[in-house]
Structure 1
Amino acid sequence: MSQDVGIAKDLNEIVKIEDLDFLSQSAFDDVCRHSNSREISVVKIKELYKSLL
């Protein structure tokens, strides 16, 4: 269905490697991060994003 309406199938179709610094910092700065039970860093978030590309 997502293909029928033109939604990207994979994250790498819409995110470029040069976007990862901004996306990682934005995720880290998100107010909801503080309610997460796991500690995280910008570096770890970036690694997670890279693993999805």
Structure 2
Amino acid sequence: MFNPETFPAALISAASFDGMSQKEAAELPSTWSAPDANMLWEAAWSVQQERRVDLGKG
């Protein structure tokens, strides 16, 4: 289980490529339309569900 008040911003922040802070991520849904905010959440969630492969030198 997760805290529905804080987890979405933490997830969006973690999925951000440009270093978005949790505070910035928390402000986005209140300024976007509900469908756009939902799409952002779904994108952040799906990115975190992807399996990653380390392709670095080893």
TM-score (norm 2): 0.33
Select the structure that is richer in helix: 1
Point out which structure has higher relative CO (alpha carbons under 8 A, 6+ apart).
1
TM-score (norm 1): 0.35
